[in-house]
Amino acid sequence: MTAIIALSLFGISNLFWGFWFPRKVLQILTLLFLAVGIGLTAMDWNHELLWFGNMFRTTNTSINFSLIIQLAAFLVVALSRGFGSDDEHTHPAEYYAILLFSVVGAILMVSFDHMIMLFVGLEILSVAMYVLTGSDKRNLKSNEAALKYFLMGAFATGILLFGITLVYGATRSFYISNLANIIAATAPESMPSFLYIGVLLMLIGLLFKVSAAPFHFWTPDVYDGAPTIFTMFMSTVVKTAGFAALYHILSGVFGGIYSTWVLTIYFISMLTLIIGNVTATYQQSVKRMLAYSSISHAGYMLMTVSAMQSSSTSTVLYYSLSYTLATVAAFAVLILVSEYQTGRKEKPEDYSSFEGLAINNPGLAFCFTISLLSLAGIPLTAGFWGKFFIFSDSFNRNIIYPVILAILMSAVGIYYYFKGIIAMYFKNGDIEKIEVPILFKIALWFCTIATLVLGVYPNLVKSLF
Amino acid sequence: MNLLFILFFPLLIGAYLLIAKPKHAFIISLSATILEAIATGFLLYKINETLLPITFIQDWIPEVGIQFSLKADGISGILIGLCALLLPFIIGSTAKTEKANHAQYQGLMLLMQSAMMGAFLAKDAFLFYFFFEASLLPIYFLASKFGGENKSAITFKFLLYTIFGSLFLFIGLIFVYLRTPGATHSADIETLYLTARNLSAESQGYLFMAFFIAFAIKMPIFPFHTWQPDTYTTSPSQGTMLLSGIMLKMGTYGVIRLIIPMFPLGIGIWGNTAIVLSIIGVIYGSIIAIQQKDAKRLLAYSSFAHVGLISAGMLTQSFDGIQGALYQMLSHGINVIGLFFVIEIIERRTKSRELAQLGGITQSSYALTVCFIILSLGSVALPLTNGFIGEFILLKSIFDYSLILGVVAGITIILGAVYTLRLIQKTMFGNVSRITTEFSKLTLEEKMVLIPLSIFVLLGGIFPNAILHFSEESVSQITQLLK
């Protein structure tokens, strides 16, 4: 809990440090702030407490999610390199401050015990993301993406709020624990029917944030238009927070009326898997491919959410962690390669930009390979166990057909992930040695090695969750 | 400890070769594989003394009941023995070529060995799956980095095809695993046996299909073989040797280790279909092999035909069938890498594999001809060669199973003789062609590979009992389960 206050204060102070310090120092400062945040969050371990008028609850699950979120933010900041060197058009102090604020929002989203807290957290996170998406002011695509994200996101938030209102109307409570009791105590027939409408509307609001089909239409354009470093942030932090919130609501509150929403989630997860994976195969741009791949991973995660096993919490956590590590590494390599190819190639983010990367940059190629393998769910990487836990949870609930579909779609996934590997290793290109700053290198290798270690010994974190 | 050494030693050396890229990669990898072979031989000797399996068990993911457990019994023993025995020859076959000191090339082969050893030793089903899949990556990189014409598309097809198949195995395994008793379940293969055998016939039927598709693609069995000829032809020779000599045995091993003990009722429903498909593969593969113009492709189809017979034999679920399959796996591995190496020697000297362009090699290299004939006769299953023992026991088991199928499968002996003798005749005998006039004699390194392999062919044909005895105990344990 203290982490939220600390991070908010750090965020505000960051705006002032911007007057005096150069961007490299700001980056180090922000890393320090996040490290403090991680420490403060970890200190709450095993202390289940309520804060802010019982609206905010720290549990070990919420702490785990908060830690994953802050770890992702830490990695993103470490990979940000002070946002380039263009003093006139980039504003590192503001960017770092906004990143810290959005982390606060994300933490609220994973630890809420009151619907309003969920809403506040979601808004803090979303508004921050709208700004960061449009931060590349002179790029038309970035502007378009920001506006699109803002308009669609505002609608989704409105729908979520509408859902919260209806649920409140039916149960007269905003508190998660109360709500669960009321729903469990009342017979389904005597519930007002608008409770179910409320539940569905809330689901839609949250599913939009995690970009599940058919609410995914913003994702490719926004991911594509935003500066890559913020895309990385979006696809890890926002997704993890969104899933944590969704899982918290569905298992914690609406677990009692499982049968009313589970079919919806089934279909949405199947649709998401199909759309995400099949569309990703058509992409020429790696960035867009990763956007669609993030949609498809939302489909896998939804399967666990709908399985609602005792092990599901740890599965969602494990999957979020493995997905975060792999995605950060993939985007990090994409940043370096597309920067190198800017000016050399017409479309620096295409697969063709990666051709021959392995010749002079074996390290980068290796990191990218491992992250793609993890996303594809090949053994030796964390992603494999993530998939294993998901399939095993779903089977336990007798969810057969979605699992079979998911298996087929994993095979489709291998096709587009391996396209990147083929381009790097088996095509000829003339990429020279790319200079990698030291902090960037450390963060990138951290992700890669962590992916491998979790792939060989998943129990390292699984026992914590 | 010995088990861990066998499993991780090639991995360590392979990783060292890939990362440090030392200059003398050949000598490092060759001595590593020889050391590995000695360690494996020592282990097998210990098993053979007591006829008791050696196990190693360590918790891996206790929350979900997955263990890091290894077990070497009579069945695994034959396969790790094969894997350890062949690798020095496969690596030795690169001697004095540009690949010999290519650290990546050697490193990938060692990684491959480690993964295959893992698959053969695994006692936990998910550990098996883990290595089963992991072994794909090194061979994929090996084939698509160093392969021939159109390698990128062909190896990609191979990769997609096999992973697609293994995913079925994956869901099948999870399905059975979730039905094991206990709060955390267990993925130990022996626990899975007990659980799976109690499932209803219908579930077992579906599970049999899921498992069989995975292994059938790996072996490959008709009609899942379409990746195989292209991949074998385009891979570098050592890749082809690994694929055909050892990797396809992961499929046959999977059938013996998992399918037969787990799904007796499932085999009851689908076993006949699977046997018929395997035998179709035998005949079909042989007929196509007869018409091939490219020597390597011919061998690829012959390998397809041989593995069909192995699969048919073991699916009869008889003691003889499984014993014969194990013996034939061993001899097929030895024969096929020898034959592929002969083709590579010819290709090195003449830059061609076209049967029409070759001929008369016996006039310039007598030693090559002798080795080639011995290896081919092993492949034809002539008495006194190792192929005879395996095919004979296999055919006997198929005859016991069904007379008609036995007769049809028996044609393989004739067809096999046709394509193999045609291969010998077109390359070794006949008139000297333009490109074979200056065919140089075998070098010492080439002899070091070919002569021992030829000796193994004869030894296997004359003294089969040592090996049959070695696997007897474990195989009868499996057939006991079926009664």
Express each pLDDT in A216-233 by its tens digit. 889 999 999 999 999 999
CA angle A463, A373, A381 (to 5 degrees): 25
Residue whose structure tokens are 């060292």: B16
Residues in chain B: 483
Token pair in block for residue B182: 């206990």
Q: Which residues of A touch B131 (CB under 8 A)?
A: 379
Contact A392 B177 (CB under 8 A): yes
Token pair in block for residue B167: 């995913």
pLDDT, position A149: 92
Domain boundaries along the sequence of chain A: 2-462
Q: In whole angstroms, give the CA distance from residue A367 to residue A333.
A: 8
Contact A407 B126 (CB under 8 A): no
Look at residue B1 and tell me whether its pLDDT is greater than 70. Answer: no
Q: Is the peptide bond before A188 cis (omega within 30 degrees of 0)?
A: no
For residue B174, give the nearest of A384, A392, A427 by CB distance.
A392
Rounded alpha-carbon distances, angstroms, from residue A272 to A207, A302, A402, B262: 11, 9, 11, 35
For residue A396, give the nearest of B60, B164, B178 by CB distance.
B178
Measured between CA atoms, how close is A140 to chain B, in angstroms?
A: 38
Q: Is the CB of residue B73 less than 8 Å from the CB of residue B3?
A: no
Q: Could you say which DSSP state residue A176 is in?
A: H
Q: Which residues of B touch A422 (CB under 8 A)?
A: 144, 152, 156
Mutate to test the interface with A, among B19, B67, B130, B209 (most CBs of A within 10 A): B130
pLDDT, position B114: 93
Q: In whole angstroms, give the CA distance from residue A409 to residue B171.
A: 13
Mutate to test the interface with A, among B163, B195, B217, B234 (most CBs of A within 10 A): B163
Nearest CA in chain A to B127: A379
3-class DSSP state of B55: strand
Q: Which residues of A touch B133 (CB under 8 A)?
A: 378-379, 384
The β-bridge relationship of strands A56-58 and A49-51 is antiparallel
Q: Which residues of A touch B175 (CB under 8 A)?
A: 395
Our measurement of the distance from residue A285's CA atom to the centroid of its chain's CA atoms, rounded to an integer in Å, reads: 20
B63 contact A CB<8A: yes
Nearest CA in chain B to A390: B174
| Element containing residue B57 per DSSP (H, E) | strand B54-61
What range defines the domain where residue B454 resides? 267-483
* Distant-in-sequence, close-in-space partners of B400: CB < 8 Å, separation ≥ 6: B316, B318, B320, B406
Q: Is residue B122 part of a domain?
A: no
Nearest to A265 by CA among A255, A412, A119, A236: A255
Q: In whole angstroms, give the CA distance from residue A376 to residue A241.
A: 22
B160 contact A CB<8A: yes
For residue A392, give the nearest of B62, B156, B178 by CB distance.
B178
Residues in chain A: 465
Q: Is residue B105 part of a domain?
A: no
A57 has which bridge partners? Answer: A50
Burial A16-49 (b: 16+ CB within 10 A, else e): ebbeebebeebbebbbebbebbbebbeebeeeee
Chain A, 392 to 451: residues with Cβ < 8 Å from chain B are: 392, 395-396, 403-404, 407-408, 410-411, 414-415, 418, 422, 425-427
Q: In whole angstroms, give the CA distance from residue B362 to residue B183.
A: 67
Q: Is the CB of residue A62 less than 8 Å from the CB of residue A110?
A: yes
Listed in order, strand segments (DSSP E) in A11-155 are 49-51, 56-58
Task: Indicate the number of domains in chain B.
Answer: 1
Chain A, 1 to 30: residues with Cβ < 8 Å from chain B are: none
Tens-digit pLDDT profile for chain A (465 aa)?
A: 788 899 999 999 988 888 888 888 889 999 999 999 999 988 888 888 888 888 888 888 899 999 999 999 999 999 988 777 777 778 888 899 999 999 999 999 999 988 999 999 999 999 999 999 988 888 898 999 999 999 999 999 999 999 999 999 888 888 888 888 888 888 777 788 888 899 899 999 999 988 888 888 899 999 999 999 999 999 999 999 999 999 988 888 888 788 888 888 889 999 999 999 999 999 999 999 999 999 999 999 998 888 877 788 888 999 999 999 999 999 999 999 988 888 888 888 888 888 888 888 889 999 999 999 999 988 889 999 999 889 888 888 888 888 888 888 988 999 999 988 988 888 888 888 888 888 899 999 999 999 999 998 888 888 777
Token pair in block for residue A16: 């002032």
Q: Is residue B424 part of a domain?
A: yes
User: Is this complex scored with an ipTM above 0.90?
Assistant: no
Measured between CA atoms, how close is B4 to chain A, in angstroms?
A: 15
A350 has which bridge partners? Answer: A285
Which stretches within B65-183 are classed as H helix?
74-92, 103-121, 125-134, 136-146, 151-177
Q: In whole angstroms, give the CA distance from residue A93 to residue B314.
A: 69
Nearest to B160 by CA among A416, A126, A24, A4: A416
Q: In whole angstroms, give the CA distance from residue B254 to residue B211.
A: 9
Question: How do residues B35-73 score in pLDDT, each as one tens digit?
Answer: 999 999 999 888 888 878 888 888 888 888 888 999 988
Question: How do residues B291-333 score in pLDDT, each as one tens digit?
Answer: 988 888 999 999 999 999 999 999 998 899 999 999 999 999 9
Nearest to B4 by CA among B90, B109, B127: B127
Token pair in block for residue B179: 């039905």
For residue B160, give the nearest of A311, A403, A414 by CB distance.
A414
Our measurement of the distance from residue A332's CA atom to the centroid of its chain's CA atoms, rounded to an integer in Å, reads: 15
User: Long-range contact list for B48-55, CB < 8 A, 24+ apart?
Assistant: B48/B77, B48/B470, B51/B473, B53/B474, B54/B2, B54/B3, B55/B3, B55/B123
Contact B174 A410 (CB under 8 A): no
With the C-alpha atoms ordered A425, A429, A430, A436, is the resulting torsion angle positive or negative? negative
Q: How many helices (H) and strands (E) does chain B have?
A: 21, 2
Residue whose structure tokens are 């592929």: B340
B137 contact A CB<8A: yes
Question: How do residues B111-145 score in pLDDT, each as one tens digit?
Answer: 999 999 999 999 999 999 999 998 999 999 988 88
Q: Which residues of A touch B163 (CB under 8 A)?
A: 378, 411, 414
Counting one residue from chain A and one from chain B, the pairs whose CB atoms sit within 8 A come to: 75
Q: In whole angstroms, give the CA distance from residue B117 to residue B431.
A: 45
Q: Residues of chain B with pLDDT > 70: what percent?
A: 100
Q: Which residues of B touch A410 (CB under 8 A)?
A: 167
3-class DSSP state of B316: coil
At B75, the amino acid letter reads I
Q: Which residues of A touch B203 (CB under 8 A)?
A: none
For residue A411, give the nearest of B61, B151, B164 by CB distance.
B164
For residue A426, give the nearest of B61, B145, B164 by CB distance.
B145
* Distant-in-sequence, close-in-space partners of A343: CB < 8 Å, separation ≥ 6: none
Q: Is residue B134 part of a domain?
A: no
Question: How do residues B154-174 score in pLDDT, each as one tens digit?
Answer: 998 999 889 888 989 998 998
Q: Is residue B24 part of a domain?
A: no
Phi, psi of A62 (to 5 degrees): -65, -35
Q: Could you say which DSSP state residue A114 is in?
A: B
Our measurement of the distance from residue B430's CA atom to the centroid of its chain's CA atoms, rounded to an integer in Å, reads: 33
Nearest to A320 by CA among A60, A63, A46, A69: A69
pLDDT, position A137: 84
For residue B61, give the nearest of A373, A411, A459 by CB distance.
A459
| Element containing residue A425 per DSSP (H, E) | helix A401-426
Q: Is residue B417 part of a domain?
A: yes
Measured between CA atoms, how close is B178 to chain A, in angstroms?
A: 7
